[in-house]
Structure 1
């Protein structure tokens, strides 16, 4: 798989140039493929270089740049936790994820799925770094998803595909934290069980 992804990067770069969006997308796929195969050092090197190149070519706050920056942060986090863990990588991972979280919140607001997902990643990174006070920010992730579900129900209706997807994503996030108390915001967003 990694060989095919490397070949795709080489072909895209030869055909379109290194700064073309197709070449950058191929590099993202390669970095993620490397990480999926447990080649964390190589994945991080590719994703960190990609994040730098995307910022240069597309701009530092462009959505594809933010994806590359987030994935570089996650790969750095993997390196800090792997069998050959390098604890010096953890502060760098946290810094990278904090930067993406700040930009995402400023650009998209507190109830955008990308903002909420990077907050979840950052909460995990804080807990890994034993920065427990910051890791409790997970509550804002759950609150944000509950608000997103409520907004989509109001704007699109309860059966709209985007509303259903938001409900599923909230349900997945509830597995990372505690369920809201009865009557709390978001307590009824999943609807009755078995209906």
Structure 2
């Protein structure tokens, strides 16, 4: 069969028009229909893909039974397609029903059931049902730890997703403890210097910073910065971002002199790497000006404030306000307010 979506649609149309009803549910026909649905989904033709996946589910339910593993797998593909199409409510309900049926047929601890339950939590989170998503994530994580162990890759993924969901709902302290467990697991698996372990350490420090536990955050960031300097070097983006977050911790805990010292380094590196008028450079310069003001260095602070104002007028959209970006660049711009004070 062709992999061109328009040709596929015509072939499927001709197939449905010319094939006797009793031949439409043969394994070969359903297999071709499923393959066509995959191609359509990959091409972004979501509505057409969903229609074909539904026909596959219905056909397999008639010939194999609703509880057959192949039927259940087809329902999972339909649920994924609904999600890809942006039909979140339908995707949630399909995942919810499928999780119930998989638990009944294959048991709550089966590999397939745990995957679908994890996907259900993700869909709930994506749809804004954060509290229910957290409940499902916690249940899945407990079962994965018991069945597969705390260091299995899927367990780590679930723990990370749960921590992110907790953070999004303002529960940074709880998120920090899951990140702490993640650091321990990843250190055991790949060593303290691996990128994955360092990212987990960054996530932990970031949650402590957001929670206002500045001394703990400072301890984590100082250790992480030392390791990133050793492993990556001073100019690496992750190193610069880590130093930036450490400066913010110093500033918020009232250690303006330490904040200024680190912020000067960040500013110099961002001027070299990004240019003096890049939004992140201007953000850094604005923080430096604020902390210099805290130290009574008003003349130098005024110079930096003026450069921020001048740079902002030349940059489309102006300078990016200092602030935390929970879903993305966690270390680089630190968090919250635009002053360096605690």
Cα distance in 2, alignment partners of residues 22 and 141 from structure 1: 35
Structure 1 consecutive aligned stretches of length 4 or more whose deviation exceeds 4 Å: 171-176
Do the aligned residues in 1 keep the contact of 2:183 with 2:197 (CA within 8 Å)? no
Structure 1 length as normaliser, TM-score?
Answer: 0.73
Shift of 1:129: 1.5
The alpha-carbon distance between structure 1 residues 17 and 183, as it changes in their structure 2 partners (threshold 3 A), is farther
Q: For 1:127-184, what per-residue CA distance to the aligned partner results, in whole angstroms no more than 9, with x for missing partners?
A: 122111111122332432342235xxxxxxxxxxxxxxxx78x389669837973787
Pick one of 111, 130, 135 that aligns with 2:170.
130
Bigger Cα Rg? 2
The alpha-carbon distance between structure 1 residues 46 and 175, as it changes in their structure 2 partners (threshold 3 A), is farther
Q: How does 1:43-192 map to 2 (within 5 A)?
A: 43-80=91-128, 89-136=129-176, 137-149=178-190, 170=196, 177=203, 181=224
Shift of 1:91: 1.1
Q: For 1:39-60, what per-residue CA distance to the aligned partner results, in whole angstroms no more than 9, with x for missing partners?
A: 0000000000000000100111
3-state secondary structure, aligned to 1:130? coil
Shift of 1:31: 0.8
Do the aligned residues in 2 keep the contact of 1:112 with 1:148 (CA within 8 Å)? no
Question: Which moves more between the two structures, 19-28 or 9-18?
Answer: 9-18
Cα distance in 2, alignment partners of residues 173 and 105 from structure 1: 21
Cα distance in 2, alignment partners of residues 47 and 176 from structure 1: 32
Cα distance in 2, alignment partners of residues 172 and 43 from structure 1: 34
3-state secondary structure, aligned to 1:181? helix
Structure 2 length as normaliser, TM-score?
Answer: 0.43
The alpha-carbon distance between structure 1 residues 7 and 146, as it changes in their structure 2 partners (threshold 3 A), is farther
The alpha-carbon distance between structure 1 residues 10 and 129, as it changes in their structure 2 partners (threshold 3 A), is same
Q: Report how many residues are paired.
A: 162
Cα distance in 2, alignment partners of residues 128 and 138 from structure 1: 14
Shift of 1:95: 0.3
3-state secondary structure, aligned to 1:15? helix
Aligned to 1:42: 90
Q: For 1:2-52, what per-residue CA distance to the aligned partner results, in whole angstroms no more than 9, with x for missing partners?
A: 112212212221221111111111111111111111100000000000000
Do the aligned residues in 2 keep the contact of 1:73 with 1:93 (CA within 8 Å)? yes
Cα distance in 2, alignment partners of residues 109 and 100 from structure 1: 12
Shift of 1:67: 0.9
The alpha-carbon distance between structure 1 residues 107 and 6, as it changes in their structure 2 partners (threshold 3 A), is same
Do the aligned residues in 1 keep the contact of 2:190 with 2:197 (CA within 8 Å)? no
Unaligned runs of 5+ in 1: 81-88, 151-166
Question: Which moves more between the two structures, 137-146 or 54-63?
Answer: 137-146
Cα distance in 2, alignment partners of residues 183 and 14 from structure 1: 62
3-state secondary structure, aligned to 2:127? helix
Unaligned runs of 5+ in 2: 1-48, 206-220, 237-342
